[in-house]
Amino acid sequence: MPVHLGSSETHCLAPFPVPCMHRSHAPVHIRHIQDELKTHSTTMTASKQSTASAPAAVPEDYAQMLNAWLGNLNRVMNPSLWVSPSSNGLAPANGASHAPADKGSDGASAGLAGFPFDAASPFAAFASQTLPNLFAGAYPGINLAGLKTGLLPGAATANGVLPEVKIAPEKLQQLQADYASDCAALMQKALAPIQNFDISALGLTDKRFTSEAWREKPANSFAAAWYLLNTRYLGALADALDADGKTRDRIRFAVDQWAAAAAPSNFLALNPDAQKTMIETQGESLRLGIQNLLNDLTQGRITQTDEAGFVVGENLANTEGTVVYQNELIQLIQYKPLAATVFEQPLLIVPPCINKYYILDLTPENSLMRYALEAGHQVFIISWRNPDASLAGKGWDDYVDEGVLQAIEVVKTISGRKQLNTLGFCVGGTLLATALAVLAARGEHPAASMTLLTSMLDFSDTGIIDVFIDEAQVESREQAIGGKGDKPPGLMRGSEFNSTFAFLRPNDLVWNYVVDNYLKGRTPPAFDLLFWNSDSTNLPGPMVSWYLRHTYLENSLCKPGALTVCGEPVDLGLVDVPTFIYGSREDHIVPWKTAYESTRLLNGPLRFVLGASGHIAGVINPPSKNKRSYWSAAELPESAEAWLAQATEQRGSWWPEWATWLEQHGGKRIKARSKPGHAKYPALEPAPGSYVKQRA
């Protein structure tokens, strides 16, 4: 669940060698990088043979592919080779001949007129180059080699036929006319005399192209403007398609992925910032970038932060507490009170099981846990286990029963109270509401209140994630890891979750790091939130399959009696407790209007608050930072839009408003207990416990 996060003259990069020096002051050729790749691969292999804990060697098929890619890059950098395909050794893409390109009526190439890239395009070799499945270990079932033919997630129907799409002729004609007009206007600006060139007229406000290096030379500015123009019209074309909503969303998603990947900023040959860094460092940035790439390939994910700066239990998740219960799925942590007197009703927090609980306890100044403790609450939290193969058969019922229901019973016993306040975050909120509905069906009502943070109960609008969900996709998961048929259940790997969520915002969470880490050879700065984001967890296949089918696909959880969990029919309307519901306005995982829909499903006094920012940053917004804002209103009209229209915006954090609300349900103040646990549930180990330290 991801979060967010220049001038010497740039030399021409053709022909290679790169104008940079090693200590010997000899020019650095592509072959030197290839030699380093070979050395790295050999070293990694030897290391693997010498120690079982060393990372895996760079895959041989990747080493071959990268060597071929570097060779092609060397040719692309040499314009003298562009015009003669027979002399540069470039093979035509897909076996095509190098026949002349079609000509327009004026005799110019119908392709990129004025550029040396027509039939003899030096980039043709890249189009025909196949990609090995680089991350097979990290992303099982995802074949990156098939990206060119499988870009649309789940686009095919059950019989493998793509849905029919078309576009109204009048829409297409208008788009063509607008595009031609904007192209002509851009070309007119580009052809203006250099002394009259106005960079501001290009409107380069995209943060990828705002540095001085992109503005120094008109050619760089024009390349960025040309890219932005084309991506804008590709998006408009996708939006104009006459198709069902899901198909149109999937096409737009695919277009956005391609557009993000094709940005000139992502390529050394086209990125003046990266070229400048390479020249200033005498090629060291290129060497470090290749090293960063190789390191990321061995770990199966892009590095987003300097992970060496964090240790769970030392400078993260270091609020003092004790593990007082554990089973196969959870450890329950009881925190040491930070006030002399505490509210008699304890607070149980159910975090998401997709990532680790310490998103709520990053550092003391960002810790919602510590904030609640300082306000006088007795705080308990579930720490979910990172499942291995021995837990691959666990399902949704197990997470409700052995997780939430068991934690409720332990907290009641330790506190000596019949009721407790509860809080669920993301899917933790879905699990919590389900558990309370199960208890309500049994005539039990242990919750004095419930807080839901960016949680979905009605899945009718799941935002961009919906592009991945259909019957074929869910059936595929059930067959592969859900234990359906003759195949045993398996695990949904945490790296798959990370990859999916990252590509929901590819410019911020993928290509930003490709540019900085690989093209510029930088090490990303230490950032606690991104460290947590990379510390993913696996999930049992049956649990994931149940969740996908009954919520995202069929949206059955919000229908009274449609589902049976732990032997009880689920009716969320039976959850009759005071409930505080929070949504984040820019959340791309739980759209805020979907979070608002929970007000129609639950009974009891309800309060809805909307925070600024996204899924994580909106929640983790401590008052001490005095950042962002939130909206609140006394009334809860039928629609989310109507609620927002009458809501009042207030500066700062929403935490104090929640704390004031929760205080009303805390009961009287009592003296804080000095010892954790209970005779039945003695202290097991200090917080943060051992489960949170298990890596996926």
Complete DSSP assignment for 57-98: PPPHHHHHHHHHHHHHHHHHT-GGGTT-HHHHTPPPGGG---
pLDDT tens-digit readout, 281-317: 999 999 999 999 999 998 888 999 998 889 999 999 9
Instruction: Give domain status of residue 1, yes or no.
Output: no
pLDDT tens-digit readout, 66-103: 555 555 545 444 444 444 333 333 333 333 333 333 33
Instruction: Give domain status of residue 437, yes or no.
Output: yes
Neighbours of 505 (CB within 10 A): 18
Mean pLDDT of 181-202: 79
Confidence of residue 358 (pLDDT cuts 50, 70, 90): very high
Beta strand residue intervals within 152-273, DSSP E: none
| Tokens 């030096």 sit on residue | 122
Pairwise pLDDT comparison (13 vs 28), residue with the higher score: 28
Q: According to the model, what pLDDT value does residue 68 have?
A: 58
Q: According to the model, what pLDDT value does residue 149 have?
A: 35
> In this structure, what CATH number is given to the domain that contains residue 606?
3.40.50.1820
pLDDT tens-digit readout, 509-543: 899 999 999 999 999 999 999 999 989 899 999 99
Highest mean predicted confidence (pLDDT) among 30-44, 166-180, 211-225, 389-403: 389-403
Instruction: Give domain status of residue 139, yes or no.
Output: no
Pairwise pLDDT comparison (269 vs 163), residue with the higher score: 269
Q: What is the DSSP letter of 489?
A: P
Highest mean predicted confidence (pLDDT) among 14-18, 39-43, 426-430: 426-430
Mean pLDDT of 22-39: 43
Q: According to the model, what pLDDT value does residue 501 have?
A: 86
In angstroms, the Cα distances linking 237 to 230, 232, 278 are 10, 9, 38
Looking at the predicted structure, is the pLDDT value of residue 644 above 70? yes
Structural domain harbouring 547: 321-465+541-693
pLDDT tens-digit readout, 314-333: 999 999 999 999 999 999 99
Complete DSSP assignment for 608-643: EEEESS-TTTTTS--GGG--SEEEE-S---SSHHHH
d(CA 472, CA 479): 10
Instruction: Give domain status of residue 3, yes or no.
Output: no
- Tell me the whole-structure pTM to 2 decimals: 0.78
Looking at the predicted structure, is the pLDDT value of residue 46 above 60? no
Structural domain count of the chain: 1
Residue 452 phi, psi (nearest 5)? -115, 115
Structural contact between residues 596 and 609, judged by C-beta atoms closer than 8 angstroms? no
d(CA 358, CA 223): 43
Give the CB-side neighbour count of residue 432, counting CA atoms within 13 A: 34
Complete DSSP assignment for 265-285: GGSTTT-HHHHHHHHHTTTHH
Sign of the CA dihedral running 98, 102, 107, 109:
negative
Poorest-confidence range of 161-175, 323-337, 394-408?
161-175
pLDDT tens-digit readout, 461-498: 999 999 999 999 999 999 999 999 889 999 999 888 88
- Within 463-537, residue ranges assigned H as helices are 471-480, 494-502, 506, 512-513, 528-534
* Residue 193: both structure tokens together: 């005399």
128 CB burial (10 A radius; 0-12, 13-18, 19+) = middle
Confidence of residue 1 (pLDDT cuts 50, 70, 90): very low
Instruction: Give domain status of residue 425, yes or no.
Output: yes
Instruction: Give domain status of residue 480, yes or no.
Output: no
Instruction: Give domain status of residue 131, yes or no.
Output: no
* Residue 131: both structure tokens together: 């990609």
| Residue of 584, 664, 594, 599 lying closest to 634 (CA atoms) | 599
d(CA 128, CA 118): 16
Residue 289 phi, psi (nearest 5)? -65, -45
Provide the annotated active-site residues.
Answer: 426
Pairwise pLDDT comparison (157 vs 295), residue with the higher score: 295
Poorest-confidence range of 32-36, 341-345, 430-434, 462-466?
32-36
d(CA 321, CA 677): 10
Q: According to the model, what pLDDT value does residue 478 have?
A: 96
pLDDT tens-digit readout, 139-150: 333 333 333 333
Mean pLDDT of 345-370: 95
Mean pLDDT of the chain: 81
Confidence of residue 60 (pLDDT cuts 50, 70, 90): low
CB-based burial, 462-496: b 16+ in 10 Å, e otherwise: bbbbbbbbbeebbbebbebbbbeeeeebbbbbbbb
d(CA 224, CA 263): 8
Strand (E) or helix (H) holding 583: strand 579-584
Instruction: Give domain status of residue 233, yes or no.
Output: no
Looking at the predicted structure, is the pLDDT value of residue 112 above 80? no
C-alpha radius of gyration, the chain, whole number: 28
Q: According to the model, what pLDDT value does residue 462 have?
A: 95
Confidence of residue 189 (pLDDT cuts 50, 70, 90): confident
Q: What percent of the chain has pLDDT over 90?
A: 65
Helix (H, G, I), strand (E, B) or coil at 46: helix
